[in-house]
């Protein structure tokens, strides 16, 4: 039986769950996989929180784990891009495999880390970095390796999906839904990373790079969050036959790979529309295999720890196999698609004064920029501002940007216009 010695860096929620999973499943893993996974070293900022889970000496020196001779795989679960980067760099230079759940690190610095791993004859497992327990990394890399991708997109953040679900089902405003998410532990006290789309952007950049075998840098992405959405947007979208989701979307266009994160009106009959609460999902469309979707728990200590353990089993089984073909996740930088080449339909909510001529002026500006209106909604209101909701036909993104810049300068507009793209042709 092969023994694999593990150095764990970071023992918070995911790390502590991993320790428990390893102990619970040790016998099963030995029987099924002929692997003896042994944690031999742990480093964490708060040793007292996990002392009851293990007899292994616990250190606060994260960097020391990466250079220990008695460690085969370093599991990095500290998060962030500073200490984590130093730990992973050191581990790879010391020819140790790495398993991580750190999407920010890989999205921002993955190219150099993957290249360093390849040069040193080791590998990086990151199944837990995207969509929690959903096995999407190996699905893309192995199961669909023969396919040419046209689109990959998904609900990649459980916090925002929970908030949007509760805004619809309970008719809560954004602030109330966020507070409940925080109370339940689905959102941090500072939710910016989640609600402004940064977390989803890190994840879709990793998925797009893997699907297209072309590096899609996080810095290239245009990112919009959900904090400006109101209950009226949720309910109006539903009445139009759509449900708002925060999506990471990457697709092939004539100008290159277009990758973005933004709230999106998803048709109610699309499978992504029915992924609710804190669940995640990844939808893809390929030339050869058509469309497919995988869904499941996208966050949480136990689901994420299960993905880490799956990587430990997979990469542990590959250690000391002399003739294995190393995975190489280093790709050339993609050609970035120009924004104005992307054609979309939009849901637009204008907050306006209630006076004659407002709608005709909005229509005039849209028409001047080659945008035609498909439908208009305006509910009677006793107080200003009033909400005018317009759904457009397809037009260039650049035309929308120009139109909204002009409209938002008008004296009758009281708040910045909310624009949400419609998901179609998937």
**Which residues have a catalytic role annotated?**
203
13 is in an annotated binding site: yes
12 is in an annotated binding site: yes
148 is in an annotated binding site: no
C-alpha separations of 5 from 117, 118, 305, 362 in Å: 18, 21, 17, 65
188 is in an annotated binding site: yes
Beta-carbon count within 10 A of 84 CB: 22
Comparing C-alpha atoms, which of 252, 286, 247, 287 is closest to residue 267? Answer: 247
Burial of 404 (C-beta count, 10 Å sphere; 0-12/13-18/19+): buried
158 is in an annotated binding site: no
294 is in an annotated binding site: no
Residue 152: helix, strand or coil by DSSP?
strand
- State CA 215 to chain mean position distance: 16
Containing 367, the helix (H) or strand (E) segment is helix 358-368
Residue 119: helix, strand or coil by DSSP?
helix
Residue 267: helix, strand or coil by DSSP?
strand
225 is in an annotated binding site: no
Question: Could you tell me the end-to-end alpha-carbon distance of the chain, in angstroms, rounded to an integer?
Answer: 47
97 is in an annotated binding site: no
The C-alpha angle with vertex 185 and arms to 183 and 191, in degrees rounded to 5, equals: 90
Rounded CA-CA distance 211/250 in Å is 9
11 is in an annotated binding site: yes
Beta-carbon count within 10 A of 64 CB: 15
Residue list for the binding site for L-homoserine: 188
Residue list for the binding site for NADPH: 103
Residue list for the binding site: 9-16, 103, 188
């Amino acid at each position: 039986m092969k023994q694999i010695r593990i150095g764990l860096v970071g023992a918070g929620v995911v790390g502590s769950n991993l320790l428990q999973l390893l102990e619970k499943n040790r016998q099963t893993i030995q029987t099924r996989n002929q692997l003896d996974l042994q944690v031999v070293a742990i480093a964490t900022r708060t040793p007292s929180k996990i002392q009851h889970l293990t007899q292994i000496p616990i250190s606060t020196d994260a960097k020391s784990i990466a250079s220990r001779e008695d460690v085969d795989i370093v599991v990095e679960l500290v998060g962030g891009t500073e200490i984590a980067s130093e730990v992973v760099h050191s581990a790879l230079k010391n020819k140790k495999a790495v398993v991580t759940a750190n999407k920010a690190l890989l999205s921002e610095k993955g190219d150099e880390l993957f290249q360093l791993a390849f040069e040193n004859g080791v590998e990086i497992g990151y199944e837990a970095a995207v969509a929690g327990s959903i096995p999407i990394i190996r699905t893309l890399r192995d199961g669909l390796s023969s396919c040419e991708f046209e689109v990959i997109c998904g609900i990649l953040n459980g916090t925002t999906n929970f908030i949007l679900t509760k805004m619809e089902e309970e008719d809560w405003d954004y602030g109330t839904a966020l507070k409940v998410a925080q109370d339940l532990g689905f959102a941090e006290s500072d939710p910016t990373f989640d609600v402004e789309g940064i977390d989803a952007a890190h994840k879709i950049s990793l998925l797009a790079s893997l699907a297209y075998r072309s590096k899609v840098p996080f810095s290239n992405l245009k990112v919009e969050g959900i904090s400006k959405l109101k209950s009226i947007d949720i309910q109006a979208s539903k009445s139009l036959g759509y449900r708002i989701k925060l999506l990471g979307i990457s697709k092939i266009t004539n100008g290159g790979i277009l990758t973005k994160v933004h709230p999106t009106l998803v048709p109610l009959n699309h499978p992504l529309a029915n992924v609710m609460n804190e669940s995640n999902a990844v939808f893809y469309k390929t030339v050869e295999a058509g469309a497919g979707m995988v869904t499941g728990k996208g966050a949480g200590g136990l689901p994420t720890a299960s993905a880490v353990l799956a990587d430990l089993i997979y990469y542990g089984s590959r250690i000391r196999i002399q003739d294995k073909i190393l995975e190489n996740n280093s790709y050339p930088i993609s050609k970035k698609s120009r924004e104005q080449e992307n054609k979309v339909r939009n849901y637009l909510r204008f907050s306006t004064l209630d006076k004659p001529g407002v709608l005709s002026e909005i229509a005039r500006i849209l028409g001047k920029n080659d945008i035609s209106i498909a439908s208009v909604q305006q509910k009677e209101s006793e107080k200003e501002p009033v909400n005018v909701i317009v759904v457009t036909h397809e037009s260039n993104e650049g035309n929308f940007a120009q139109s909204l810049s002009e409209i938002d300068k008008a004296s009758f507009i009281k708040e910045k216009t909310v624009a949400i793209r419609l998901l179609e042709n998937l």
